[in-house]
Amino acid sequence: MTDPEFQEKVLEKLEIIVERQAIIKTVLLGANGDTGLVGKVDDVCKSNNDLNGKFKLLVGVLIGSGVLAGSTAGILKLIGG
């Protein structure tokens, strides 16, 4: 019912698709202990969250010690007067 040459071409295309899908899966999920792209993005997100927490702590310490508020008031005083 179908042409044998057409079936052969379809099978060749399917083999190519399966090979490329395996490569994409390896890049995304990793192999041989590598975390892949998904793992690297997860690491960056965790690092960003840690940095965000440290930044908030630093701002809190600076405000609490008066350094940040005092500097802001001094700058406003210089600009205004």
Q: Print burial letters for 49-61: b (CB count within 10 Å at least 16), e (below 16).
A: eeeeeeeeeeeee
**Are 43 and 73 found together in one domain?**
yes
**Are 61 and 46 found together in one domain?**
yes
**Are 30 and 54 found together in one domain?**
no
pLDDT digits (tens, 9 = 90+) for 29-80: 998 888 899 999 999 999 999 999 999 999 888 888 877 777 777 788 888 8
**Are 58 and 22 found together in one domain?**
no
Task: Flag whether pLDDT at 18 surpasses 60.
Answer: yes
Query: Taken in order 75, 71, 59, 51, is the CA torsion positive or negative?
Result: positive
Report the predicted TM-score, pTM, of the whole model to 2 decimal places: 0.58
User: Domain limits at 48?
Assistant: 39-81
Domains held by the chain: number:
2
